Amino acid sequence: MKKFVLIIIIVFFPFISIAHMGHYNKYNKIEMEIFRNGELIGYNYYFFNRNGDETIVTNQLKFSVKLLGTTIFKVEAYGEEKYKKNQLVTYKSKTLQNNKEKFVNLILNKKTNMFEIKGSSYDGEASKNFVIGNWWNHKILQADNQISPISGSIKKQVVNFVGKEKINLYGKIYEVDHFTLKSRDKNLPKNKKLNFNIWYDRDSSTIVKVSYSRMGNWEYKLKKLE
């Protein structure tokens, strides 16, 4: 059960602080649905609000896993990223994982030019170029490091291009680039390693699908862009 919980923590918020915000100017909302073993279990929504050169991206996530009709795992989470032009300046999140609370409070220190992080599992500094992990931001595919959007911990990652593919989502065909995202440290225990497949649509500048296998087969699928 502990391994299952850890994988959920790594995954659901799924991750560069320097985002090309202009790529998302036409979007007000991105809707993703979450599946486990082919069953719809929840959602992950992103909302975009703009005021001049400031953009706020809010993230709402909710899902529950049942076994024999009994809920064995439940997550509700809220996060907010604030950008000035292309630079992340603040991030905050609250997560209720079953009955356990987790959090992150991050701010860009203008004097040191570093992130200051206070989180449920990390308290310290980080480079302003590190990533907050959210699937709306395709800069995850260019990042070397991520900051956990749930607890604030820092993780190192490696992204590799697999190839071009066509996939069908909700009756729509996407011509996508397929990537893998894995932990840089190969000595990490299996239950702590990042190991994702990611499909990116260049036309819309969005990640349209994410999958991984651990305690079941998980998929995040883009359902709607507004």
94-111 per-position pLDDT tens digit: 999 998 999 999 999 999
Contact between 39 and 21 under an 8 Å Cβ cutoff? The reply is no
Q: What is the pTM of this model?
A: 0.87
Report the b/e string of 200-217 with b at 16+ CB within 10 A.
bbeebbbbbbbebebbee
Instruction: Give which of 64, 93, 67 is closest to 79, Cα–Cα.
Output: 93
Arithmetic mean of pLDDT, 43-71? 93
Summary mean pLDDT of the chain:
89
Arithmetic mean of pLDDT, 41-59? 96
| Residue whose token pair is 């701010």 | 107
The whole-number pLDDT of residue 19 equals: 58
The whole-number pLDDT of residue 192 equals: 77
Contact between 197 and 180 under an 8 Å Cβ cutoff? The reply is yes
Contact between 165 and 179 under an 8 Å Cβ cutoff? The reply is no
Arithmetic mean of pLDDT, 84-99? 94
2-21 per-position pLDDT tens digit: 444 444 444 444 433 445 78
156-192 per-position pLDDT tens digit: 999 999 999 999 999 999 999 999 999 998 888 887 7
Q: What is the CATH number of domain 2-225?
A: 2.50.20
